[in-house]
Every structure is written in C-alpha cells, then in structure tokens.
Amino acid sequence: MVSPDFLTALKDPNAWFSQHLSVTVAGVKPALSVLEYTIIEEMNETYSLDILIASEDQTLDGADFLGKNATFIVEERAALKYTDTASRHARTVHGVVMEWEHRSSSKDVAQFWVRIQPRVALLDLTKYSDVFLNKSLKEIFYELLVDRERIWPHDIELNFEGMDQRYEQLLMVDESALAFVKRQCLRHGLYFYFRQAQVTSKTHRDTLVIDNRAKGYMRSIDVPYVSANGLDGQFHEALLSITRKQKLMPQSIELRDHNYRTPNAPVTAIAYVDRGDKTLYGSIDRSNEHFHTKDEAQALTAVRAEGIASRQLVHSGRTNIIGLYPGWVLNTTNRKLPKAPYGLVITKVTTIGSRTKPATNEFEGTPAEKVWCPEYVPERDWRWMQGSLVATIESSIEGSPYADLDDRGRYLVRFHFHRRAGKVGSNSIRLRLMVPSASKDGGFHAPLLPGVEVRVFFTNGDIDRGYIGTAAHDYSHANHVHGLEGWNSRAVWRAPLLSGKVRFEEFKGKEGAKFSTIYQRSSVSMGYLVDNQKKRRGEGLEIHSEGHGTFHASKGMFLSADSLSSPNAPQLEMTAALESMRSALAESQALLQAAQRANAGLAQVRDQQAQLENAFKDLQKQVILLSAPDGIGAVTPKSNHE
C-alpha cells in the first residue's frame, strides 16, 4: 500500500528516492543483508528469486534455510527536506527456500546464495501416481494442490469458467502434482500466475491464480512512456523502451479423434483464428488430442485458435517498475501502445537489482484485450506412456469368482500403482480388452477372472486412453503349461474356471487331441490317447460321457470300420461297404435259387438290392449304414430288436 506522504513525494522534483532490500527467513535470527537479487517470472511457470546474502554469522548452514518460509521486500523511500521520509513496499515476494549455497567467507562476513520459489514448488519434489474418476478439473486441482500443511484452500484461486465437465478417468503416473496441473492447464488453455500479499496484510503468502478470462488479469499499472533519463535515476516508474514482434501464424486448426463408442461418427472440429487476417496462413491438423464429443472438440479448437491469436503479436520492453510481474496489465499514460489499445498483459519478466543499483526489468507481453493462452504442443507437453502398466482384474461384486463384464464386454481393473485404491470395483472405468478377432456379434473371448494380472496399454501412447492388452500368469495364478513333465510339447486352452479344455499334443509319435468338459465327464479324444499321468491308454478315437449320448444326422448316418482309400477321400466314400452288401445280397439270391424258394423270396432280395442302390448308396435317403469288414455285433443283457 502506498502512503499519502509517498504520493506527495512523487510529485516533488526535489525528492530523493532510494531502494532498501531485505529478506527474512523463518527461524533464522542473525541479520541478513541483501547484496543483489534476480527474479525470473513467467505465466504458467513457478517463479525463481535468486538472492545473494551477506551475514556476519558464518555458522549459518543450508539446514537453517532449506524448506523455510521466506519473504523478500523492496522498500522504496522518498526523502524530502521539509518532512519525514516516506516509504512504500514496492515489491514483496513470498515463498520457500528451495536451494542454498555458500559462496565465500572473509574474516568478518560470509556470503550465501539462496533460491526462493512459491510453496507449490514443493509439490514438484514428490512424484506419485493416482486415478481420478468422475471429477472436474477444479475438484482434481484442489485435491492435488491443497495439502493443509503448507498450502490451504485460500491459497488457491480457480477462477476459470466453462470447465464443469466431469472426466470419467484421468491418470497421473509417476508424476508430481504440479506437473499434472501444468499439463492440464496447457491442454485446456488455462493460464496461471502468482499474486503476492503485502506485508501489511499479515498473511505472508503467495496465491496461485488459475484463470481463462481476460478479466482474470490483475489491475492496470499506469506509467508514462519515457526513454531512460534522470527519471530512471529518481526511481520514478516508467516504461523505458518497447518493441514488438509479429510472425506468420496458422489461420485455422482442426482436431479429429476416434471414439469407439460412436465408431461411425468421427469426432472432428475446426476453428479459424481470423478468416480476414492476411498475416495468418496455413493450418494445423491434429489427431493426437483426445476428446469424446463434438462439443468437446469444438471447445478445444476454440482454445487453440484463441492461443494462436494471443501469441501472434509479442511486445518486449524494459521498465524500472519494481512491482511488475506476470498477470498485471501495463498501460502508458502519455501514449497508446501500438496494437494494444487496452495495454499489455505481462507474460514474462526478469527483474534485477542490488544494494547499489535500482531495479530494472525486461518483459514480454501481449495485447490485454485478448485472452492469453499458453502454447500447447502435445508431443512436448502431454504425458505419453511407453509400454504398459500392471493392473489386476476386479469385479463390482465382491467375492464373485466369475468375470465381471458390462454390456459392452469391458472390465474393471485396479492399477498396481494406485496408492489410494478404494473398495473393489471402484478403482477404474471399464476398459476394453483387445482380442485376436472382433466383428459384429462375433470374435474371440476368453473371460478374465478377478485377480488376474493384466497389462494396460495406451492408444497412441496417450495416458488417458488405456485398454487391456494382454493377461499374464503370476505365482498365484500359475501357468498350467510349463516346461516340466512333458508339457513343453502341448498346446492347451483351458477355460478360466477349469470347466473345460482343448488340448493338442505334438510330441513326435504321440500326436493327439482332446476336447473335454468336467460336466458328466464328457470328452472326445483322438490320436494317441493317454491318461492323467500321460501314459498310453489307447489309439484312435474315443467319445465318452457319463451322461446321455446321441447322434443326429437328418440326411443319414454312415458308421464304418473300413479304411479310406486316402486321407483326401470323399466324406461318403463307401465302396467297401457297398461291395460287402452287394456280395451278401448275391449270396442270399444264390441260396434262395438253390433251395427253389417261392418268387416272394426272390422279390424281397430284389427290393433289398433296389434299396442298396437308391437309399444306402451315398446316403440318398434317411438311413443308417453300418459296415465292418469282419462283422458287426450287438449285445444287450435283455433283448436285441431288429
């Protein structure tokens, strides 16, 4: 706050101005003298205040500084002959000491260098992983940034608008809370800066402000535009120089994505920066930004176009305004800034000063009538996942042994990195399972049971586009096929609940196959037949069931013990069977003729011959043909019906 006496002194040409520097660190009692300082500040970045300090106490150590709250003050004083000295706090910076270095020592004094950063910089020292389900950005930001130890809810101001969407799932993997917040701000076009409390407010805090509105900038600083002269030496604040740079930028941006929930309606949107602006040319066409709906796509393209417009024209300059930092609007009182009728919003500033030289700074800014958006380059700024993450299948029904799929065949998982996992079935959204084949109402599916370890991969490497790529055995879910006891020559698919299996044995000379289920102990075995100890118990074909057994063939059935002429013989090859039947009929006819039987007996034989040629041959009728070279037997304890 500026006192009335100081405002009076500003108007007096005979006033003499000076700057007095001080720094206080919590718990450090010896006096600290500031020799020089540098403040580097930028929108969407944490600031760094580097200070060179002198102290007569040479026993001071890094442990006395690191992690401690600190406050740096630039006090400006105005001396007049006819009144007491007036003063104001021209600049205050709060923060925490992040780095300390001993620079030199003499007989009387030691010099130390410290770096002070905002308290949220502490969050960058802790990296962990988390899953956010059905939450808005504001809810997630508060959850990440407020620890109620060093940072409280009133230290964060989330003023952005139009961002009420609740996200199904956002992942944070091996990442700091600050890094997560930064990349989300970049993606959604949010800018942030820090506001410093005055010492007189007694709050001694730095406040993080996140916004996406032009009215979110801080109030205007109105100063004259003058070249460096005597005013500079008197510490009157002014804009000392100004330049501007403009470059050709893209005229439009188009975003496109694929949403598997609406596969026949590609999600696309396009936005134009300014169709009539001749300083715009070309376009950006991206397919690596993720969104679900056309409205979401349109909102993102609008943000990208707004960002291009806000960064096309950049002003650079130099001032001696001690309290200039990002988020403030700079205006001149004696002239209009070129192409910035409403002033400049400061986006970057570096301020230097010392005990012997007054503060000056160099800055960058853009026209304040536009909403400044940070540049977002997905390849550089987003979190891309290489490889996969380990997870475990979960069920929404606790204790259920069966796979828990929704109506789209998707699964719930629990990521192994999730340190705050909740109750079973509430730790992720449902994820698709990649399968060898997929078609409408068709494909291949082997259910994944609760507790099974899986690998979650990511579409295009995007951390928010996970899917289940594969399952893996672990020591609790051992692989039933291993390199011991002859399993190394077997190909097996066993149902997850062990109720059925398909097995192929490929050991040379013992090839075989088996399809079985535990219900009624039913199985079909072929080739080399073995028992559960893999010992030979037969060869050929075996069909077994402890339940009923039936054969149905509406066009006819042919059961034969005859050999085929070749492996590629037709299905209904029955040459041997027909020859046997013809031979039997010929023999019957000869016996009838020799016994001189009635014509009716011969007629019966002729009928059988006709039936052979017109019904049994090639199963032309619904008949059953039995054939065996050495006989057919039928046995029953009670009766035999023909």
Residue 139 lies in a domain: yes
Element (H, E) at 35: strand 33-42
Q: Coil, helix or strand for 242?
A: strand
pLDDT of residue 632: 79
495, 512, 544 - which closes a domain: 544
pLDDT, tens only, 409-468: 999 999 999 888 788 888 999 999 999 888 888 888 889 999 999 999 999 999 999 999
Give the CATH number of the domain where residue 170 resides. Answer: 3.55.50.10
**Whole-angstrom Cα distance, residue 184 to residue 383?**
10
Residues 581 and 566 in one domain: yes
pLDDT, tens only, 100-117: 999 999 989 999 999 999
pLDDT of residue 619: 75
pLDDT of residue 639: 59
Question: Residues 543, 534: contact at Cβ < 8 Å?
Answer: no
Give the CATH number of the domain where residue 67 resides. Answer: 2.30.110.50
Give the CATH number of the domain where residue 397 resides. Answer: 2.40.50.230
272, 288, 311 - which closes a domain: 311
pLDDT under 70: residue ranges of the chain: 1-4, 6-11, 13, 82-83, 228-235, 594-602, 605, 635-642
Q: Which two tokens stand for residue 98?
A: 């992040």
Phi, psi dihedrals of residue 184, rounded to the nearest 5°: -70, -35
pLDDT of residue 231: 47
**Whole-angstrom Cα distance, residue 226 to residue 563?**
110
Residue 112 lies in a domain: yes
Which residue range(s) make up the domain with 291?
Answer: 248-311
Residue type (1 letter), 211: D
Closest-CA residue to 72 (of 96, 41, 88): 96
pLDDT, tens only, 239-284: 999 999 999 999 999 999 999 998 888 899 999 999 888 889 999 9
HSE-CB for 183 with a 13 A CA cutoff: 21
Which residues on adjacent β-strands are paired with residue 500?
Answer: 517
Residue 78 lies in a domain: yes
Residues 537 and 563 in one domain: no
Residues 107 and 6 in one domain: yes
Closest-CA residue to 490 (of 479, 500, 498, 499): 479
pLDDT of residue 275: 87
Closest-CA residue to 423 (of 449, 448, 394, 463): 394
Question: Residues 38, 350: contact at Cβ < 8 Å?
Answer: yes
Residue 439 lies in a domain: yes
Radius of gyration of the chain (CA): 43
Element (H, E) at 96: strand 83-105
pLDDT of residue 199: 81
Residue 236 lies in a domain: no
199, 230, 256 - which closes a domain: 199
Task: Name the domain count of the chain.
Answer: 6
**Whole-angstrom Cα distance, residue 369 to residue 217?**
10
Phi, psi dihedrals of residue 79, rounded to the nearest 5°: -105, 130
pLDDT of residue 551: 87
pLDDT of residue 196: 95
549 vs 190, 224, 379, 514, CA distance in Å?
71, 102, 63, 17
Q: Are strands 220-223 and 329-332 parallel, antiparallel or unpaired?
A: parallel
HSE-CB for 378 with a 13 A CA cutoff: 16
Residue 375 lies in a domain: no
Q: Which two tokens stand for residue 166?
A: 């609740």
pTM across the whole model: 0.85
pLDDT of residue 637: 66
387 vs 26, 412, 470, CA distance in Å?
45, 20, 12
pLDDT of residue 233: 47
